[in-house]
Structure 1
Amino acid sequence: MRAIRIALMTVQSFIAITAALGGVALIVGTLLPSLATVFMPPLDYLAGSPFSSYLVPGLALLLVVGGTQAAALLLTLTRSPWSAVTSALAGFACLAWIFVQMIYIPFSVLQLVYAALGGIELALTMLTLGIWDQRRVTHRSTFVAASRSEPGRTHRV
């Protein structure tokens, strides 16, 4: 369980830091175009979106994605009873960010990486909750063999 918690906090730390840096880069690049970096996508990507600049997406990346990850990390670190809920929320926020981004921005390997990280965060959260506890998993082969052994008997799965 300790290894799972450390893995979860590692994912949360990475996403929180990179989302904060990415959000700040988008905000600064929008407010001060002379400081726009190679990390800021072309404005052409916003065509057809509800945004005319990267200011609102930058704020969303910083506050929604980075903020939920930072909150989840803090609550996981302090072993708060709210850590699992916040971790799940942070994982879903990361996935939602990537899915919405993929509507407007052409495919990038980073999108795949962050979609995987969001999924990993959700899986690790489920493991911390004991949802994937191996002792509670009933394998299909066991169920099929048991159901064929005694007709008419109900089996608890």
Structure 2
Amino acid sequence: MRRASLLVVLGLVALPSIIGGKVMVVGTLLGPERLGIPSGMALPLELLQGSPFSTYLVPGLLLALIVGGIHLGAFILLIRRHPWAPLASATAGFSILIWIFIQMVFVPFSILQAVYFAAGLAELGFLLLLLDLIDRQDRRM
């Protein structure tokens, strides 16, 4: 159950990170209208004011390749029960937390930031349970 829970959360972060990052990159390169996205639904460039980026190209690449890639890698390693799966899962959890922390510096608060922050905490919590580093029944504290 602990492993399955961690797999679910890893997958639920990997998929939108990869897809969202791809949309940001392709939307920057081709324009949102070429993606079939109405111009009113495209990410406004005003959100990038005060950030080191003038387009969504680099943030999209970072989101898809770093955050999404680490999550996908951790998911695959955990499925295969690879010895590096715990390290990859911890890296994935921290990667989304760091992404959200940095995003909150530049982008106004969104409920999605809270959702993905909670997902990162859940990943780390499920990992600790999976490794038997914490026990829900332990009441010594």
- Shorter-chain TM-score above 0.5: yes
- Displacement of 1:133 in angstroms is 2.7
Alignment equivalent of 1:18, drawn from 16, 19, 36: 16
Q: What SS class does the counterpart of residue 106 from structure 1 fall into?
A: coil
Q: Is 2:137 the partner of 1:139?
A: no
Report 1:44-83 matches (<5 A).
44-83=46-85
One-letter code aligned to 2:140: H
Shift of 1:41: 2.2
How many residues of Structure 1 are paired with residues of Structure 2 in the alignment?
A: 137
Q: 2: distance between equivalents of 1:27 and 1:130?
A: 40
| TM-aligned CA distance change 1:45 to 1:129, over 3 Å | same
Q: Distance in 1 between matches of 2:28 and 2:2?
A: 39
* Structure with more relative contact order (C-alpha pairs < 8 Å, separation 6 or more): 2
Contact 1:25-1:40 within 8 A present in 2 as well: no
CA distance in 1, matches of 2:123, 2:80: 17
Give how far 1:139 is off: 1.8
Distance of 2:3 and 2:16 partners within structure 1: 20
Match of 1:93 in 2: 95
* Unpaired runs of at least 5, structure 1: 141-157
Question: Once the two structures are aligned, what percentage of the paired residues are identical?
Answer: 44
1:126–1:40: structure 2 CA closer, same or farther, 3 Å change rule? farther
Deviation at 1:81, TM superposition (A): 0.8
Instruction: Trace 1:97-116 onto structure 2 (pairs within 5 A).
Output: 97-116=99-118
Task: Quote the Cα distance in structure 2 between the aligned partners of 1:124 and 1:65.
Answer: 18
* AA partner of residue 70 (structure 2): T
**CA-atom RMSD, angstroms?**
1.5
* AA in 1 matched with 2:120: G
Query: Aligned equivalents of 1:138 and 1:55: distance in 2?
Result: 48
Q: Deviations over 1:65-110 (max 9, x none)?
A: 1000000000100011110110000000011111111111111111
2:119 partner SS:
helix
What one-letter code is carried by the residue in structure 2 that aligns with 1:87? Answer: S
Give the match for residue 146 of structure 1. Answer: none
- Normalised to the residue count of structure 1, the TM-score between the two structures is 0.82
